[in-house]
Amino acid sequence: MNQSRLQSVRKAQEAHRENIQKSLEHRLQVARAKGDEQLIRQLEAEMRYSG
């Protein structure tokens, strides 16, 4: 794989990871606003797992 392609793949992977993190943060905010303790624990665990 050439360097340009490799760099594009890495950028896409990083963008994907950032989007997942933002989605998790938003879902966690909503769960906290609703007081859904089970969902809060689940999302917090998912955030720890995803790093």
pTM of the predicted protein model: 0.79
CB-based burial label for 47 (10 Å; 0-12, 13-18, 19+):
middle
Q: What is the pLDDT along the chain (51 residues), one digit of tens a residue?
A: 688 999 999 999 999 999 999 999 999 999 999 999 999 999 999 999 887
Give the other-Cβ count within 10 Å of 46's Cβ.
13
